[in-house]
Structure 1
């Protein structure tokens, strides 16, 4: 009975009514973290495949934010799952990891996001799975869109890449334009500002 419950939980999680349904794979790594992928499971990992025919639903459950990695990536826990969220539509300054110096305002972005949601229950609006098998989502705390908050504060820019068609892209563009006008956060750097996307190209892992 327990495996069936797990499968139902996964189905409830990885699909969203706002996007096309596709085959999804789920597996647990050696650290006990549940991963999702719309491609396949990694070599040597036993995965549960969720077929395309499964009806999509919107997940309105609350999840606890257990860790903030940087200004746009967090880990959440709930419903017997623990996994990472890549905050959709935004791109925060890169921290650089343990071996490199990060971008200006990268630590401020991390600190701000930590203050906003660390240890709190949040609601997620999913948009599928992104790189490194992270769930793409908007994060809501007490009905406040935290993704937009980070952009409004000048601690993240609008993601310069492909975005889900169902996303309200206009609200993010307006938030960034307003932050630029106010020279909020990282926009105070003026010509010295460098997009996280550009920084990643110049500083490959």
Structure 2
């Protein structure tokens, strides 16, 4: 037996594998399964799917995962770790197919390089390159859509930013700049213009 093959087999044997039944799909990279009598929340390892609010890609990723893992499917979990939310981080295998890798290949998830430990880096890289060169899904725009980890960070930053009211702004132009920065409350009627009342006051 070749040394490389022996190392591969030892690696596979060392990875905890558990049988489970799919109960529900959360978003593009989370699901709930049943292991024996226990309900377990699973975060798909080594990938990051668009957030649901990253329209339309987040909803497409969730639908892709639902199609790959119908409720009631019997799967194998290759567990890697437990995250800070108490979820099992794992690769999910259905009938010999690696679901995590399938989502990357179909352009429904990015490789999460910050958390690739324990996964086959070369395979994930090859599948992401395939989707990127093919302009599939999240790669249908040049360079791909905003990465989910950057999107989450920007949402957190926006939530910490001071929220203005129209009466707090110095001018109509200043209100438009705040809207461009993400202060959507200034556009109460969702027409793409902040503080129309200021403009109307100037006009009169």
TM-score w.r.t. structure 2 length?
0.66
Q: Considering fraction of residues, name the structure with more helix.
A: 2
Deviation string, structure 1 residues 71-129 (Cα, Å, up to 9, x no partner)? 11111002111111110010000013xxxxx3431000000100111311111101011
Relative contact order (C-alpha < 8 Å, sep 6+): which is higher?
1
Whichever of the two has the greater Rg, that structure is 2
- Whether 1:161 and 2:109 are equivalent positions in the alignment is no
Answer yes or no: is the 8 Å Cα contact 2:132–2:144 preserved in 1.
Answer: no
Q: Aligned runs of 1:56-205 on 2, under 5 Å?
A: 59-96=16-53, 102-119=54-71, 120-164=73-117, 166-191=118-143, 193-204=145-156
Distance 1:91 1:131 in 2: 16
Q: CA deviation at 1:187?
A: 0.4
- Matches of 2:141 and 2:84, distance apart in 1: 29
2: CA distance between counterparts of 1:162 and 1:185? 22
Partners of 1:65 and 1:121 within 8 A in 2: yes
- C-alpha distance in structure 1 between counterparts of 2:38 and 2:119, whole Å: 25
Query: In structure 1, the residue corresponding to 2:85 is in which secondary structure?
Result: helix
Structure 2 CA distance for aligned equivalents of residues 178 and 192 of structure 1: 13
Count of matched residue pairs: 147
User: Separation in 2 of the partners of 1:57 and 1:80?
Assistant: 24
Give the equivalent residue in structure 2 for 1:39. Answer: none
* Bigger proportion of residues as strand: 1
**For 1:78 and 1:147, how far apart are their aligned partners in 2?**
19
Partners of 2:75 and 2:152 in 1: CA distance: 29
Per-residue CA deviation, residues 42-84 of structure 1 (Å, 9 max, x unaligned), is xxxxxxxxxxxxxx97544421111111111111002111111
